[in-house]
Every structure is written in structure tokens, then in C-alpha cells.
């Protein structure tokens, strides 16, 4: 089945499950509208504009303006300028913003099941991540959002997380001993991930990471290349290990009450545009991370180590206890799906 169609169908299944409306043809050509008639959608996120999520939010806003003749205005607030980590989900619940695209780890604030996506080496590549999140496990997770009054509109990529620090090359688990790392808030698993190697982890908002690295509050951090590059962490850190140990992706979510208040024709335009941007964003994420890694290499400021297959296997077996620990804390079906997927892709 064509990828676009499968994504639109997934969105329809999720939206039919959670709302009374389904997919209908787009109503086109609305008249020019007065400023006060417009529908304003505030889209808040925490990253720089020149990132997969930043560019996709802008593209979504531009397409929606064009396709509704300005009747719907999507206002994008990047880089935590409106709300930062720890504030965003409450703002969405209170209707102060209408769209967010938090990293999946941060949804663990709502339900611990989202930590399944943080399991190190859970996904061999982006396709195996998509197979997981676009399948029955994803629907289980999206339905969890419903009890908080949220609707999942799309799944955007960033890419695999890498690890930077200022003390030493990180090649084996023992190299982490005594070092501290920033992790995203809300996911207990990300803390355990560094603990199991003898390091420590400090959850903090993304907007605080640059200062924390600069002041030495933490020795290192994990993130995608696009975040390491666009926030200039690579200018503060001496060592970068290309570990591909975790997958950074986003769930684009809206407030269900707001969504259900929209006329059907607007829901259809937003839904179809979101499906189109999702495909575009996934390609852009791959391209940007590759391009920005090339620039980091050319800048030559950071010593880069790419984990060998043998080193990765040592990391992967050292991480194994995280799977059995999480299996006791979340719906075992999710871990079962993950293990089945890993067997297929290993």
C-alpha cells in the first residue's frame, strides 16, 4: 500500500477511534476572511528552526494558510519562546496552545508506557521505529493520550541519539563511570540508561542544556545530531560518540476538545496537510542529520568515535536489564511487540 495512503488511513483510524469524524474530501476555495474571523492555532516547540521539527512546523503553517486562504493561521513558537519542557503539556490541556510536538520520552509524564520507545537499541533503523509506532503498539500508545484529552495527529522523526561529553572518549560502558549526563525530563528509563553504565543522569528542560554544559553542571548529554549542531553543544563538548543507541521522534498532538470544535472542512485540511508534512519531515530529518554531521566533522572541534559493531554489542548486552525492568512496569504487550520486531529486523 502506498506510504501516503497508509499514513492518511492510520490518521483516519486514530481519529475515527477518538472523534466522530472520518476522512472526507477537502472543501476548497473559502472566501477571504476578516482578521477577527480567523482561527488561530498556536504551535509551540522547544527546538531551533533549522531542525526537522522546526522546519516541519513552519511548512505546516505555510500550507494551512495557503489552503484556507488565511482563514486558519498557525502561529509557530520555536525554541521554548512560548512554553518550555515541563510547561507545554499543561498549556495544551488548558487550551493555551493547540499543537505540540514533544519527544516521545516527554510523554512519559502522562503514562510510563512511552518509555518503551526509549529502550536502547530497540530500533535498528528508522523503518523499524516506524513499523512499531505505525502499528498496533502505536495505537495502544495513542489511545493512552485520549485519557488526557489529547489527539495524536502525526509522528515526526528526528533521528538516532548520540552522546557528547567533556571528559573522555566514551567507547565502553566503564568509560561512563563517574560522569553526569543531561537527559530529557519525565523518562525514568533515560536515567537508568546512564546509571547501568555507572554514570548519573540529570533530567532538565532542553532550553537549559547549553548553560548546563557550559557551566559544567553536567559532563555530557545525549541527543540527535541536529540538536547537537543547532544548539552548538558540539562547540562546548570535546568528545562525540556516534552510538545510535536511542531514537528521537515526536508525536504531534492537539487538544481533542479544540479539534472537535473545528468545522469538518478545516479538520480535513489540517489532517491531510499533517499527513503530507509527516512524509516530507521524515525525509528532511534524515537529510538534515547527515548534512549537519558532515559540518560537525568539517569544523573539527570535537573528537568523534563511531561505535564498532563489537562495541555496540557490548553496549546492547549491558543495557539488557533495562528491558526486563521496564517489562514489570508497563503493558507487557508493548515489550512483546518490540521483541518480535527486533527478531524480524536483527
Q: Does 227 bind ligand LMR (CB under 6 A)?
A: yes
Length of the chain: 346
Q: Treating both helix axes as pointing N-terminal to C-terminal, what angle do 3-18 and 264-299 enclose, rounded to 10 degrees?
A: 130
Provide the minimum distance between the beta carbon of 106 and ligand LMR in the complex, in angstroms, as a whole number. Answer: 6
Number of residues that bind ligand LMR (CB under 6 A): 9
Provide the minimum distance between the beta carbon of 195 and ligand LMR in the complex, in angstroms, as a whole number. Answer: 18
Q: Does 206 bind ligand LMR (CB under 6 A)?
A: yes
Q: Does 103 bind ligand LMR (CB under 6 A)?
A: yes
DSSP 93-134: HTTS-SEE--BGGGGGGT-GGGGGGGSTTS-SSHHHHHHHHT
Q: Does 164 bind ligand LMR (CB under 6 A)?
A: no
Instruction: Give the DSSP letter of residue 31.
Output: P
Q: Which residue has cell 503530507?
A: 276
Q: Does 132 bind ligand LMR (CB under 6 A)?
A: no
- Report H helices in 196-251: 209-215, 225-230
159 vs 269 by CB, closer to ligand LMR: 159
Provide the minimum distance between the beta carbon of 227 and ligand LMR in the complex, in angstroms, as a whole number. Answer: 5
Instruction: Give the DSSP letter of residue 222.
Output: E
Out of 44, 98, 162, 223, which residue is the one contacting ligand LMR (CB under 6 A)? 223
Out of 80, 158, 186, 237, which residue is the one contacting ligand LMR (CB under 6 A)? 158
Provide the minimum distance between the beta carbon of 103 and ligand LMR in the complex, in angstroms, as a whole number. Answer: 3
- C-alpha to C-alpha distances, 128 to 11, 44, 121, 315, 318, nearest whole angstrom: 19, 28, 11, 20, 22
248 vs 335 by CB, closer to ligand LMR: 248
Q: Could you tell me the three cell numbers for 257? A: 476538545
CA 59, CA 170: separation in Å to the nearest integer?
A: 37
Chain residues 9-38 in contact with ligand LMR, contact rule CB under 6 A? none
Q: Does 46 bind ligand LMR (CB under 6 A)?
A: yes
Q: Does 184 bind ligand LMR (CB under 6 A)?
A: yes
SS3 state at 80: coil
Residues that bind ligand LMR (CB under 6 A): 46-47, 103, 158, 184, 206, 223, 227, 248
Amino acid at each position: 500500500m502506498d506510504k501516503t495512503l497508509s499514513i492518511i488511513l492510520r490518521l483516519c483510524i486514530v481519529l475515527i477511534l477518538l472523534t466522530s469524524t472520518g476522512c472526507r474530501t477537502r472543501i476548497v476555495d473559502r472566501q477571504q476572511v476578516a482578521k477577527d474571523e480567523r482561527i488561530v492555532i498556536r504551535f509551540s516547540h522547544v527546538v531551533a528552526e533549522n531542525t526537522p521539527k522546526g522546519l516541519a512546523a513552519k511548512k505546516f503553517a505555510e500550507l494551512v494558510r495557503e489552503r484556507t486562504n488565511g482563514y486558519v493561521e498557525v502561529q509557530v513558537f520555536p525554541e521554548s519562546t512560548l512554553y518550555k519542557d515541563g510547561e507545554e503539556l499543561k498549556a495544551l490541556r488548558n487550551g493555551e496552545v493547540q499543537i505540540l510536538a514533544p519527544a516521545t520520552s516527554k510523554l512519559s509524564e502522562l503514562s510510563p508506557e512511552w518509555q518503551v520507545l526509549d529502550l536502547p537499541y530497540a530500533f535498528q533503523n528508522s523503518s523499524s521505529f516506524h513499523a512499531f509506532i505505525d502499528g498496533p503498539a502505536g495505537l495502544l500508545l495513542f489511545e493512552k493520550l485520549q485519557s488526557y484529552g489529547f489527539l495524536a495527529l502525526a509522528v515526526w522523526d528526528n533521528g538516532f541519539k548520540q552522546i557528547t561529553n567533556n571528559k573522555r572518549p566514551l567507547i565502553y560502558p566503564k568509560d561512563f563511570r563517574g560522569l553526569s549526563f543531561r537527559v530529557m525530563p519525565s523518562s525514568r528509563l533515560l536515567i537508568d540508561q546512564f546509571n547501568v553504565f555507572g554514570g548519573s543522569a540529570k533530567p532538565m528542560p532542553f532550553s537549559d542544556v547549553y548553560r548546563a554544559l557550559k557551566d559544567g553542571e553536567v559532563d555530557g548529554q545525549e541527543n540527535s545530531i541536529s540538536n547537537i549542531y543547532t544548539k552548538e553543544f558540539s562547540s562546548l563538548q570535546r568528545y562525540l560518540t556516534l552510538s545510535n543507541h536511542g531514537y528521537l521522534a515526536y508525536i504531534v498532538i492537539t487538544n481533542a476538545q479544540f479539534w472537535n470544535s473545528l468545522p469538518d472542512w478545516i479538520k480535513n485540511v489540517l489532517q491531510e496537510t499533517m499527513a503530507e508534512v509527516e512524509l516530507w519531515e521524515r525525509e528532511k530529518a534524515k537529510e538534515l542529520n547527515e548534512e549537519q554531521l558532515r559540518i560537525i566533522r568539517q569544523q573539527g572541534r570535537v573528537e568523534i568515535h563511531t561505535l564498532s559493531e563489537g562495541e555496540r554489542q557490548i553496549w546492547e548486552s549491558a543495557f539488557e536489564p533495562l528491558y526486563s525492568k521496564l517489562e514489570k512496569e508497563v503493558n507487557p504487550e508493548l515489550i512483546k511487540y518490540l521483541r518480535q520486531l527486533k527478531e524480524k529486523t536483527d
